[in-house]
């Protein structure tokens, strides 16, 4: 009982450091975990107090929430669509580059901001030890509400309320830090084959080492920094062997995909992206997401750039498909300038483009 009380007081003290600002009187940070999510936890045999881990994917615009069970292994609980992230695929390197970070971060009780101007938020802890070793700059990289981003992951107010409550209860249950794994995309052989000549591929393969350990063991990987790279605990001999087999199998699949003609590409965004479900909502409802940063940058989706050995060559008009009613037709063949302008106005109605 004393341990629980002490932990609770420590958590309240950590949160009180963020109690200044215009939202200091708000109680939104005390909102309970929604009943449907509690029922999902119960069905999976976990409780709100059990530890959590999160994984983010920019290209897919999703954040996964994982819960640790009684067997000590993490299982996927729920996947949340991102409403907005900014920048490009690749790591954040400097203040003001609009990049959302990629890497392995730690969310602590002191990271929680109950009085955020973006409803609620928690800090990812950028720059971490790895970032600092490379002289990277920037601060206040968050997961927060709304649909506006300038280097953060915006989740909508409803989603951040739930995520905040889940993190809060894990801290109350004794977890000291929540590992947040941030990736450019899901580390599948298909993605690695397609992005094999991207300038960031060596960094992404380093991130995959940690992803592989988590996926093989179901346990949070121990993370350090050595020789300008992330370094991960190898574990015992059996674990190291299982991870090595997975990596070798993935490499064989990558080689087979390349041999079969899978093109090497780089995705270029106007300024980040969002999950297609939000894009469809914006078009169908003409808004409803609150402020949306730079809605015009979301209109066409990322542009594919071919990456041959001699250097990058743009593939004219080649873009990732946008599913559903939200697909915007380009001007020229296949679409008119008037149609493009009409749809752009729909996006603009969701927000004025300011951060």
Q: Which residue ranges make up each domain of the chain?
A: 31-301
Six-digit token pair at 52? 């959590």
Six-digit token pair at 99? 């990049």
**What are the tens digits of pLDDT across the range 42-80?**
999 999 999 999 999 999 999 999 999 999 999 999 999
pLDDT score at 343: 37
Residue 19, CA atoms < 13 Å, CB-side half-sphere: 9
Residues (pLDDT < 50) of the chain are 1-21, 286, 310-337, 339-355
SS3 of residue 149 by DSSP: coil
CB 195 within 8 A of CB 266: yes
Residues involved in catalysis: 144, 152
For 31-301, the fitting CATH number among 3.40.50.300, 3.40.50.2300, 2.40.440.10, 3.40.50.620 is 2.40.440.10
CB 169 within 8 A of CB 279: no
pLDDT score at 5: 38
**What are the tens digits of pLDDT across the range 304-345?**
999 985 444 444 334 444 333 333 333 333 334 454 444 344
pLDDT score at 283: 53
**CA-closest candidate to residue 50, choices 67, 34, 65, 33:** 67
Instruction: Calculate the average pLDDT of the chain.
Output: 84
């Amino acid at each position: 009982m004393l341990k629980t009380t002490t932990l609770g007081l420590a958590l309240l003290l950590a949160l009180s450091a963020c109690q200044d600002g215009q939202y200091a009187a708000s109680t939104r940070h005390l909102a309970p975990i929604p009943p449907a999510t509690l029922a999902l936890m119960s069905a999976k045999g976990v409780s709100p107090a059990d530890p959590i881990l999160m994984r983010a994917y920019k290209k897919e615009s999703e954040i996964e929430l994982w819960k640790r069970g009684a067997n000590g292994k993490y299982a996927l609980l729920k996947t949340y669509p991102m409403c907005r992230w900014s920048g490009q695929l690749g790591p954040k390197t400097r203040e003001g580059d609009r990049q959302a970070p990629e890497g392995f971060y730690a969310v602590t009780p002191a990271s929680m901001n109950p009085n955020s101007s973006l409803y609620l938020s928690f800090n990812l802890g950028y720059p971490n030890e790895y970032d600092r070793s490379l002289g990277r700059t920037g601060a206040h990289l968050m997961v927060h509400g709304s649909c506006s981003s300038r280097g953060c992951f915006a989740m909508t107010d409803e989603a951040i309320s739930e995520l905040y409550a889940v993190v809060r209860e894990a801290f109350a249950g004794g977890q000291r830090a929540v590992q947040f794994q941030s990736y450019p995309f899901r580390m599948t052989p298909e993605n690695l084959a397609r992005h094999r000549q991207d300038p960031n591929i060596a960094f992404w393969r380093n991130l995959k080492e940690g992803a592989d350990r988590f996926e093989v063991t179901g346990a949070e990987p121990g993370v350090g920094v050595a020789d300008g790279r992330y370094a991960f605990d190898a574990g015992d001999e059996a674990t190291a062997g299982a991870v090595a087999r997975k990596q070798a199998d993935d490499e064989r699949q990558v080689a087979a995909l390349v041999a079969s003609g899978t093109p090497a590409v780089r995705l270029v965004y106007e300024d980040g992206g969002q999950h297609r479900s939000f894009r469809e909502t914006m078009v169908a409802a003409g808004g409803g997401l609150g402020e949306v940063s730079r809605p015009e940058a979301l209109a066409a989706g990322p542009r594919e750039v071919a990456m041959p050995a001699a250097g990058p060559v743009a593939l004219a008009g080649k873009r990732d498909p946008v599913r559903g009613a939200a697909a915007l037709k380009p001007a020229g063949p296949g679409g008119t300038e008037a149609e493009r302008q009409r749809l752009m106005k729909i996006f603009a109605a969701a927000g004025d483009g300011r951060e």
